[in-house]
Amino acid sequence: MGRYRKMLVAIDGSESSLHALKESFKLATTEKSWITAVCVIPPYVGDLDLVGVGNVQQAMRHPCEKAIERAKALAKSERALMKAVLEEGAAHERIIDVAEAENCELIVMGRKGMSKLERTLVGSVTARVIGYSQMDVLIVPLHSSIAWKKILLATDGSVHSKIATERAIDFASSYGGELKIVSVVDVPPEFYADAPDAFEDMIARAKEYVKIARLQAEAAGIKAEGFVGEGEAFHVINKIAKNENTDMIVMGSHGRTGLKRLLMGSVAEKVIGYAPCPVLVARL
C-alpha cells in the first residue's frame, strides 16, 4: 500500500469523469492517498475585440465551475478528503502541470463511450496526458470498477514493460491478486511466408518475456499464468481481458518526443479505447 501518496483526478463534468473520481476515492482509502481534482477551462480563441466576449468566457467557465461543485458534493457524500482546482488553458498541459506542482504520482481519468474511429485514434486529452506525463496514468471506463484481484499484464520485454511488471506484482501482492501475463507477436500476414524463421524467433522471444514475468510473480508468491498471442496487440490484449474477466490491465507506455507524442494510435492508446476494464499505464 501507499504507492501513490498523492493522486490527481481530471474531471470535466461528464458522468465518466465523475465516475472515475468516485472510484479514485476507494483507491485513495486503501492507498492512504491525498486527492486533487482538477477541471480545465478551455482557452477562448475567438476575436477578443468582439462585444460580448465576457459572456462567452463566462459560458465556457460555467460548466467547469459546476463540475467542481459536483465533485465537492461527491467527495462530501463519500467522506473523502479532496482538494479541488479550477484551471484554464490546454487541458493536457494544465492537468500535467497541476499534477507536477502537487507532486502527484498518479493521474486518474475517465473514459467516455466512443465511436469505433475514436477508439482506434484516441486523439484526445487522455492520449496527450499519457504521451507527455512522467507519472502513471489510470484510465477508468464508465461502469467499471478499480480492483486488483485479476490483473492482466502486457509485456514486450522492454524497459517500460519491466516497470509495468513491477507495478502489477506490487498490486497483486498487496491486494491478494493473481496475474495473467501476455506477450503479443504482431506481424503482417505476408511476414509468415517471407520470413518463417524470423517469425518463430519472435514467438520464442515472446514466450521468454512471459516466462521471466511469470517467474518474478511466482517468486513473490503470486499465482501467475502466461499467454502468447498472435495478431493486433490491442485486440489480443483486450480479448484476453474480456475472456478472463480481468479487473485491471497493466502495461507500459514507450516514451515519445516531439511530434511523435501527438501521433495517436499506439498500442496503449488502442487498448484504452477498447478495454473492458480500467487500464494502468506505468511510466518510468
* Rounded-to-integer distance, Cα 32 and Cα 177, Å: 19
Alpha carbon 2 to its chain's center: 19
Query: For the segment 203-223, what is each residue's pLDDT rounded down to a tens digit?
Result: 999 999 999 999 999 999 999
Give the CATH number of the domain where residue 5 resides: 3.40.50.620
Q: Where is the domain boundary, 120, 145, 170?
A: 145
* Rounded-to-integer distance, Cα 61 and Cα 86, Å: 9
Residue 158, domain extent = 147-284
Say if residue 274 is in the same domain as residue 214: yes
pLDDT at res. 122:
46
Query: For the segment 69-94, what is each residue's pLDDT rounded down to a tens digit?
Result: 999 999 999 999 999 999 999 999 99
Say if residue 263 is in the same domain as residue 206: yes
**Residue 163, by phi and psi: left (phi above 0), alpha (psi -120 to 50) or beta?**
alpha
Q: Where is the domain boundary, 102, 119, 145?
A: 145
Give residues with Cβ within 8 angstroms of 123, minimum separation 6: 264
* Rounded-to-integer distance, Cα 130 and Cα 266, Å: 11
Number of domains in the chain: 2
Say if residue 161 is in the same domain as residue 175: yes
Q: Where is the domain boundary, 101, 123, 145?
A: 145
pLDDT at res. 127:
83
* Rounded-to-integer distance, Cα 180 and Cα 213, Å: 10
Beta 136-141 vs 106-111: how paired, if at all?
parallel
Q: How many CB atoms are closer than 10 A to CB 60?
A: 14
pLDDT at res. 260:
43
Say if residue 216 is in the same domain as residue 267: yes
Say if residue 212 is in the same domain as residue 259: yes
4: nearest Cα among 42, 40, 36: 36
Q: What is the pLDDT along the chain (284 residues), one digit of tens a residue?
A: 558 999 999 999 899 999 999 999 999 999 999 999 999 998 876 555 555 555 666 777 888 999 999 999 999 999 999 999 999 999 999 999 999 999 999 999 998 755 554 444 444 788 889 888 889 999 999 999 999 999 999 999 988 899 999 999 999 999 999 999 999 998 776 666 677 788 888 899 999 999 999 999 999 999 999 999 998 899 999 999 999 999 999 999 864 444 344 433 478 888 998 999 999 999 86
Model pTM score: 0.89
Alpha carbon 219 to its chain's center: 27
